Amino acid sequence: MSRLSHLDDQGRARMVDVTGKPDTVREAVARGLVRMDPAVRDLALTGGTAKGDVITTAELAGVMAAKRTSELIPLCHPLALSKVGVTVAPHDAGFEVTATVRTTGPTGVEMEALTAVSVACLTLYDMLKAADKGMVIDQVQLMAKTGGKSGDWTRAE
């Protein structure tokens, strides 16, 4: 196992110095699931909630979150993102959220994709909690990443 890049030689947290790293195109895809009663999913799909368009609101919240990841996670670099796409799609268990984030730079966008998914899932929960307090946010995970020194990676399913 390699050394953790966010710890110095004394074990203290530090921001990784990416000064000498070349800019490359980097992309990350993350996914998550919000499990809920099927009737609540259908309510969201038909626009029958008091809070308005649940799906569009969650997608926009995910985009906004990706852009602010470095403000939420202490050692993340602020990045100029060239693409953030968040989709909320119906799933047998509720809704599946997918985020794709891209940049050209010296460090990857995995945290931005995971943050986008997490906040979109939380937004779904917030907007639907009046109808189902038993919802579960589940399986938030990195699905794939491309670019950078470590190369490409895809989750085996």
The backbone torsions φ and ψ at residue 50, rounded to the nearest 5 degrees and listed phi first, read: -70, -25
Catalytic position from the list 42, 92, 126, 132: 126
Angstrom distance (rounded) from CA 87 to CA 110? 17
User: What does the chain come to in residues?
Assistant: 157
Distance (Å) of CA 57 to CA 16, 40, 133: 34, 16, 19
SS3 61: helix
Q: Is 126 a catalytic residue?
A: yes
Just list the catalytic residues. 126
